[in-house]
Amino acid sequence: MENLSEIKKLLETLLKRLEAQNPCPEIRRDWIPKQELQSFLGFANTQMATHEKKYNWIYTTIGKQKFYSTKSVSNILNQNISA
């Protein structure tokens, strides 16, 4: 019975993650939250600030939340492709 309880909890956790994974897909096509981009790139706060200035990433701030333009980040990634 304990295993069933654990499996149920895991399934509920997975469902919550799936539901929260992509809220507002129309907005997310153009903007990515700082925390997600930072996690994706594996940067700490200082590295994030350094690259933001170095590459002139376009961003907007709402309250204390920062969102980066997916186009500006994508352009930088594409410019730095190496073979």
pLDDT of residue 63: 95
pLDDT of residue 2: 67
> CB under 8 Å, gap of 24 or more: what pairs does 31-37 form?
31/60, 31/67, 31/68, 31/69, 31/70, 32/67, 32/68, 32/70, 32/73, 33/65, 33/66, 33/67, 34/59, 34/65, 34/66, 34/67, 34/68, 37/68, 37/73
pLDDT of residue 62: 94
pLDDT of residue 8: 78
Per residue of the chain (83 residues), give pLDDT as tens.
567 788 778 888 877 776 666 666 667 788 999 998 999 999 999 999 999 999 999 999 999 999 999 999 888 888 887 76
pTM, full prediction = 0.66
